[in-house]
Structure 1
Amino acid sequence: MSLSKNYVLNVIMTITGVLFPMITFPYISRVLMPEYIGKVTFAQSIIFYFTTLSLLGIPIYGTRELSKEKQNLTKFKQLLTELIVIGILGSLISFVIIFIGINFNSKLNEMKEILYIFSLQVIFSFLNLDYLFIVLEKHKRRALRALFIRIISIILMFIFVKTYKDYKVYVLILVIPEILMRLLDFISIKEYLNFKVNLNLKKHIKSLSILFISTLSVSLYVSLDSTMLGVIIGDSSVGLYASASKMSKVLIPLIIALETVIAPQLIYNIKENNKQKIFEKIDMFLDFNFILGIQFIFILFLLSKDVILLFSGEKFLSASTAMQIMLPVIFFIPVGSFMSGKILISHNLEKLSLKFNLIGMLSNASLNYLLIPKYGILGAGFATMFTEGLMCILKSLRVKKIYPEYKIITKDRIKYILVGLVISVFLLSIKNKFVGYNYFVNILLIGSIYVFFYLGILVISKDRLILNLLEKIWKKSKKS
C-alpha cells in the first residue's frame, strides 16, 4: 500500500481520535464537573506509570527490530513471540506492584475501585500490538478497529453516564471496549506466533532495559503534572488542568499520524544508510509540522476561551490561560518524539535517548515542585511546555550532529512561523470588534479567516509545498 494511502488511513483513524474527545468531553465535563473529572484524571495518571512499566519499552523496540526482520518470516515470528512472552511477564509484575501500592498507600486506597478498573489496562497491556500492525502496514485494520471502539464508547457514555455518581461507569467504558478489541487483535495474529521454537529472551534484555527506563522517564514527566496537582492542591485543580491539557494536545495525534506511517520505511533507510531517502522522510515530517502544527498553535491561542467554553463549559473557563501556555507542545511533542523514537533509536542510541528523557523528568519534576504551590495549573502548564521544548531542542541538535549536512531550520520553515505570527497579531487586534456573541461562531469565523489569509499568502508567495499540493489535487480531480 502506498505511503499516501497509509497516511490517509492514519488520518482517518487520527481524526476519529480527535473527534472522540471533542464529542465526549463537553458532555462528560458538564456531567462529572471538575472534581470527578479530576478524580478520574488523577487515577489515570497513576495507572499510566504502571502501564508504561508493564510495556517494558516493547512498542519502540518492537517497531525497530521487527522492521529489520520483515523480510525473514522465521526470524520475524520468533522475535514477535519472544516480545509477547516478555510483555506477559511485564504485565504480571506491574499488576502485582500496583496491587501492593493500592493496599498500602492511603491516598491510592481511597480511590481503589477506579484504580482496580484501570489496572485491567495493566494486566492486558501485552495485547498492545499496534507496533506489529504498524510494521505490517495494516493501517486499515487499525483505523477500523479504532473507529469501532470509539463509536461503541460514545454510545455507552451517553446511555449510562448521567450524573457525577456514574464516574465509575465512565471508567469502565474507557477500559472494557479497548481490552475486548485487543483480545480480538491477539487472536488475529496467531499466524505470526511460534511457541515451538527455543525462545531466547535474554538477548532483548539490554536494549529493552534502556528503552524501558527511557520510556518510563517520559511517562513520569508526562503525567507528573496531574499527579503533583492532585497531591499538592486537589482533584478540582486536576480537573481544570485536564481540560487545558486535553484541549492543547487534542490535535497532536493528527501530526503524529504521519510519523506512524513513515516509521518502517525510515528505519529501513537508516539501516541501509540511504541518506537521500532519510532526508526525504525527515523533510516530509518537519514540513508538515511547520505548515500545520505551528498554525494550530496560533489558531488555538486566539480561540482558547471559546474552545474551553465549547468543550468544557463555564466552570472550566479559568483553564484557558493554562491552555495558552501549553500550546507550543503541539509542535514540541511530535518533533521530539520523531527525533528520538524514530531517528536516535534507529541508530541504536538508546542510552542517549535515555539521558535526554532523564533530563526531561528532572526538569519537569523540579519546575512542578517550585511552581505548582504558587501558581497552580499555570505553573504545571509552564513546566510541561518548557520541558517538552527542552526535549525537542536537545534531540534535534543530536540528530543534526548525526546528519550535519541536513538543514532543520530553512527559510521556508521560518516563513510559516512569520506568516502565522502576522495573521495572529492582525486577528488579535481586531477580534473584539466583530466577535464575542457566541463561542461557536467565534471559532468558525476566526478559524475561517485565519485559514483564508494563511493559504492566500502562501499561494501569492508561490510556496513550493502548497503549489505542489494544489497541483496534485488538480490532477486527481481531472482524472476523476
Structure 2
Amino acid sequence: MTASVGKNLFYQSLFQGIKILMPIVTIPIISKALGAHGIGIYSFTNSIAEYFILLSGLGITLYGNREIAMVREDKKKLDQTFSELVSLKLMTTAVSFILYSVVVLVFLHRDFLYYIIQSLHIIAVLFDISWFFMGIEDFKKVSLSNLAVQTVVFFGIVFFIKDYNDLPLYLLLQALGNLFSQVVMWVFIYKKISFHFVPIKKMIRHLFPMIAYFFPQIAVIFYTTLSKTILGVLDSQTSVGIYTNTLNLSTIIITMISTINLVMLPKMSNLFSKNKIDEINKTLHSLIHAQLFISIPAAFGVSALAATLVPWFFGNDFEALKIFIPIIAPVIIIMPIGIAISNQYLLPSGNTRIYAISTFGGAAISIVLNFTLIPIIGVVGSVLTSLIVETFVTVFRLIYLNKKTQFTFDKNLILRIVASATVMVLMIVVTTNGMNATFVTTLVQIVVGVISYAGCSTALKVPFLKDLFVVLKGKLYQSKRYKVKN
C-alpha cells in the first residue's frame, strides 16, 4: 500500500468511522422520537427526491473521478475538464429541479412541506465536487469538511429532536447538512483550479459518457430506493420506517467495509491505464479477502446481537427487527464483494457494460419481487427482495470476473474465518445468556465477540490480523521517530 493510498484510507476511514459512531447515538433518538411512522415519512419522501438527485448528478461521481484522475498531471487539461463538468452539472441540476417541482405540485399534495425540504438535496448536487478531490487523490479535505458539517447535524439531532412534532426539523437538519457539506468544499478549490464557464458544445462532449455511468445508477436506485417507494404505496409509510431501520445497521457496516473501494478507484484506474494486469489482479484478490475478514464476523455478530439490541436501540415500534435483521445480515458479506468488483475492476477498466447488465438485472428482479411479495407479506417481502437482488448482482459480477481473471476465493482462508466467526457467536450466546436487553448487555457482547474472534483468528493463523498489527506497529514507530526529530 503506497503512502498516498494509506493517507487517503486513513482520512476516509476516520470520516466513515465517525459516521458509524454518530448513528449509534442518533438512531435510538430518532427511532424513539419519530417512531416507525415518522421515519417512514422521511424515507418515503426522500425516496422520491432520490430519483431527481440521481438525474442531477448524472453519474458524475464515478465519471468525474475517473476523468480528473486521467488529467490530474496536466494543469490546463485539469482546469478545462473541471470547468466542463461543473457547467454541465449546472444544466442537469436545473432541469432536474424543475421536473421535481412539477411532480410535487401536480401529484404529491400530501406531506408537501416535507417534499419542499427534500428539494435541498437536489440543490446540493450542484455544489458537490467531491469527485474532483477523489480524482486527485486528496481525500483529506473531503473527509474533514464533511466531518465538520456532520458533527453540527449530529448535535442538532441530539439536542433538538425530541418527539414526532420535530419531524420537519429533522428533515431540515439532514438537508442543510448535506447542502453545506458540499458548499464548504468550494473553499479549497480556488488554489487548485481556474474555473470558467464553457460553451455548451464543449460540455456536451461529456454527456453521453456520463450517461453510460448514469444508467447503471438508475438500476441501483430501482433495487434500493424503489423498494421504499413501492412499500409506501402498496403498504404504508410505517412499513417503510420498519424496512428502513432493518437496513440501517447492515448499511452502516457495509459503508465502513467498502471505504477502501472508493479510495482505491483512482489507483486502479491508473494501473489499468498502464496495463499492469498482474498488479491489478493481486490487489483485487487481496482486497476482497481482507473485506471478508471483516464482513463475515460482522454479519454473524449482527445476527447474534439482534434480540438484545433491538429493544433498547430502536424502541417498541421496531420489535419486528429481531427477525428482520438476521434475514438481511448476509448482505454485509455479499455487497462489499460486488462493490469491490465494480469499483476495482469493471469501472477502472471502462467496462460499464457488465456493470450495467448486473445492475439492470437486479433492478428487474427487484421490481418483479417487490410488486409480487409486498401485497402478500408486506415488509418481509421488501427485506427478502433486497437480499435476493444483492446476491444476484454480486454473483453475476463474480462469474464475469472469474472468466476474465481466473479469480478464485481462498476456500481454506474463508473456512478459517467462518470457523472463527462461529466460535465468536457461540461465545456471545454462552456468556450473555439470560442477560436483559440493555446497552450494557450489547457492549459486553461486542467485547466478547471481538476478543473471541481475534483469539480464534490468531490460533487458526488467519493472516490479516497479523498484518494489521504489523501496520500499526510501523505507524507507531514512524510516529515516535517524528516526535524525536521534532
Give the TM interval when normalised to the shorter protein: over 0.9
Residue 139 (structure 1) aligned with residue 165 (structure 2): no
| Further displaced range: 413-422 or 19-28 | 413-422
Q: Which amino acid aligns with 1:185?
A: M
Structure 1 length-normalised TM: 0.93
**How far off is 1:269 after superposition?**
0.5
Stretches of structure 1 that go unaligned for 5 or more consecutive residues are none
In 2, the alpha carbon distance for the partners of 1:474 and 1:55 equals 42
Cα distance change, pair 39–216 in 1 and its aligned pair in 2 (3 A)? same
Aligned counterpart, 1:398 = 400
Query: 2: distance between equivalents of 1:160 and 1:204?
Result: 44
- Deviation for aligned residue 1:254: 1.1
1:368 maps to 370
Distance 1:22 1:42 in 2: 22
The residue aligned with 1:473 is 472
The total of aligned residue pairs comes to 475
Contact 1:46 1:227 in 2 (8 A): yes
Conserved 8 A contact 1:3-1:261: yes
**Which deviates more, 343-352 or 436-445?**
436-445
In 2: Cα distance, 1:473 partner to 1:445 partner: 25
Q: What corresponds to 1:130 in structure 2? A: 130
Matches of 1:158 and 1:465, distance apart in 2 = 37
Mapped to 2, the partners of 1:243 and 1:285 lie a distance apart of: 29
Q: Which residue of 2 aligns with 1:444?
A: 443
- C-alpha deviation, 1:444, in angstroms: 2.0
The superposition leaves residues 219-276 of structure 1 with CA deviations (integer Å, 9 ceiling, x where unpaired) of: 1211122111111111111111111111221212211211122221111111211123
Amino acid at match of 2:29: Y
Higher mean displacement: 458-467 or 54-63 = 458-467
Q: CA offset at residue 463 of structure 1? A: 2.5
- What are the ranges of 5 or more consecutive residues in structure 2 without an aligned counterpart? 481-486
**Structure 1 residues 320 and 46 mapped into 2: Cα distance closer, same or farther (>3 Å)?**
farther
Q: Comparing 175-184 with 233-242, which one deviates more in the overlay?
A: 175-184
User: Please, what TM-score do these two structures have when normalized by structure 2?
Assistant: 0.92
Q: Aligned in 2, Cα 1:74/1:400: closer, same or farther, shift over 3 Å?
A: farther
The separation in 2 between residues aligned to 1:159 and 1:429, in whole angstroms, is: 36
Counterpart for residue 255 of structure 2: 253
Q: Which residue of 1 is the match for residue 463 of structure 2? A: 464
What whole-Å deviation, never above 9, does each CA across 1:97-119 have from its counterpart, x for those lacking one? 111111221xx220121111111
Q: Decide whether the 8 Å contact of 2:420 with 2:453 is kept in 1.
A: yes
Matched residue type, 1:68: M
Aligned counterpart in structure 2 of residue 326 of structure 1, from 321, 325, 328: 328
Letter in 2 for 1:212: F
Give the aligned partner of residue 342 of structure 1.
344
Greater alpha carbon shift after TM alignment, 210-219 vs 292-301: 210-219
Preserved contact between residue 248 and residue 324 of structure 1 (Cα < 8 Å) = no
Alignment correspondent of 2:229: 227
- The question of whether the paired residues in 2 share the 8 Å contact of 1:17 and 1:253 is answered with no
CA distance in structure 2 between the aligned counterparts of 1:249 and 1:435, rounded to whole angstroms:
29
Q: What residue is the counterpart of 2:420 in the other structure?
A: 419
Which stretch shows the higher mean deviation, 294-303 or 340-349? 340-349
Q: In structure 1, how many angstroms separate the alpha carbons of the residues matched to 2:420 and 2:161? A: 44
* Secondary structure in 2 matching 1:109: coil
* Further displaced range: 464-473 or 87-96: 464-473
For the Cα contact (< 8 Å) 2:428–2:448, is it kept in 1?
no
Q: Does 1:169 align with 2:169?
A: yes
The Cα shift of 1:277 comes to 2.3
Query: Structure 1 residue 110 and structure 2 residue 110: aligned?
Result: yes
CA distance in 1, matches of 2:13, 2:475: 19
**Aligned partners of 2:368, 2:419: CA distance in 1, in Å?**
33
| Alpha-carbon distance between aligned partners in 1 of 2:418 and 2:81, rounded to the nearest angstrom | 44
Q: Verify the 8 A CA contact 1:247 1:308 in the aligned structure 2.
A: no
Determine the C-alpha separation between the residues in 2 that align with 1:69 and 1:476: 32
| Residues 179-234 of structure 1: per-residue CA shift (max 9 Å, x gap) | 12322223431342432666622322222122111111111211122111111111
Closer/same/farther in 2, CA of residues 161 and 429 from structure 1, 3 Å limit: closer
Aligned to 2:408: 407
Shift of 1:382: 0.8
Question: Which residue does 2:52 correspond to in 1?
Answer: 50
Indicate if the aligned counterparts of 2:284 and 2:344 stay in contact, CA closer than 8 A.
no
Q: Is the 8 A contact 1:117 1:175 kept in 2?
A: yes
Change (3 A) 1:228 1:133: same
Q: Is the 8 A contact 1:249 1:327 kept in 2?
A: no
Matched AA of 2:332 = I
- Percent of counterpart pairs with the same letter? 22
Confirm or deny that 1:283 pairs with 2:285. Answer: yes
Contact 2:28 2:314 in 1 (8 A): yes
Among 271, 274, 277, which residue is 2:276 paired with? 274
- Which residue of structure 2 lines up, in the alignment, with residue 2 of structure 1? 4
**In 2, Cα distance between equivalents of 1:449 and 1:196:** 58
Q: 1:97 aligns with which of 92, 96, 99?
A: 99
CA distance in 2, matches of 1:158, 1:285: 36
| Structure 2 equivalent of residue 204 of structure 1 | 206
Give the distance between the partners of 1:336 and 1:185, measured in 2 at CA: 30
* Whole-angstrom distance in 1 between the partners of 2:99 and 2:75: 36
1:18-33 matches, cutoff 5 A:
18-33=20-35
Task: Find the counterpart in structure 2 of residue 296 from structure 1.
Answer: 298
Large movers: runs of 4+ above 3 Å: 196-199, 427-431, 471-480
Q: Matched residues in 1 for 2:159 and 2:436: separation?
A: 32
Q: Provide the residue aligned with 1:75 in structure 2.
A: 77
Distance 1:403 1:434, change over 3 A: same
User: Would the aligned equivalents of 2:68 and 2:136 in 1 still touch at CA under 8 Å?
Assistant: no
8 Å CA contact retained: 2:428, 2:449: no
- Report deviation, 1:287: 2.1
Relative to structure 1, is the Cα distance of residues 440 and 159 closer, same or farther in structure 2, using a 3 angstrom cutoff?
closer
1:145-160 equivalences under 5 Å are 145-160=145-160
Contact 1:243 1:308 in 2 (8 A): no
Cα deviation, residue 422, structure 1: 4.6
- Give the deviation of 1:137 after TM superposition: 2.2
Report the alpha carbon displacement of residue 32 of structure 1 after superposing the two structures with TM. 1.0
Q: Which residue of 1 aligns with 2:483?
A: none
Structure 1 residues 423 and 58: CA distance shift in structure 2, 3 A = same
Q: Is the 8 A contact 1:255 1:288 kept in 2?
A: no
- One-letter identity of the residue aligned with 2:119: S
CA RMSD of aligned residues (A): 2.0
Q: Aligned in 2, Cα 1:356/1:240: closer, same or farther, shift over 3 Å?
A: same
